[in-house]
Amino acid sequence: MSDNQSTGSPFLDKVDIELQRAERYRIFVSLAILDFGFLSQGDSETDSELIQRLSQFVAQKIRAIDNVSVVEGKKLAFLFPETTRQEAEIASKRLRELLMNRLAELTEQAGERTVPFEMVSYPDAAGAKSIKQFLEEMSGRDRN
């Protein structure tokens, strides 16, 4: 993803804009991805609808500057502008709990399942992969 290249995805375009803003103004931005891969209604269309419903539900619960999108089928990606990695981890844990409670209301699948999540932040003093690298890897996995 180059600086002025559109990805074709409104969410990825928003990530690119926020990353450019963070780099320019030296502010934080974090991206978290929660993986609901354990969901299986036996029908990929039903699974897709369920993930969309979870996305719409949680969109009403996050800050106006935050953003959520379905990626890779059964994953929810959260963009947290002006949010440190530590703050994003706290938010992700809260959102995961909220989503698991909602999932329990909608299906019998939630139970005590663990929802793994990946996270990247800018700037990340720990030397972890950059947000752009993370998105490029995620995009590459989508094509495979």
Residues 49-80 have pLDDT tens digits of 899 999 999 999 999 999 999 988 889 999 99
Q: For residues 130 and 144, give the distance between their C-alpha atoms in angstroms, rounded to a whole number.
A: 21
pLDDT, tens digit, 9 for 90 and up, residues 19-36: 899 989 999 999 999 998
Can you name the CATH fold of 10-136? Alpha-Beta Plaits (3.30.70)
* Mean of the per-residue pLDDT values of the chain: 82
Residue 33 and residue 24 in contact, taking contact as beta carbons nearer than 8 Å: no
pLDDT at 125 (0 to 100): 54
Check: CB of residue 19 under 8 Å from CB of residue 131: yes
Find all residues with CB under 8 Å of 112, minimum gap 6, and list them: none
Average the pLDDT over each of 61-70, 84-93, 107-116 and give the range with the smallest value: 107-116
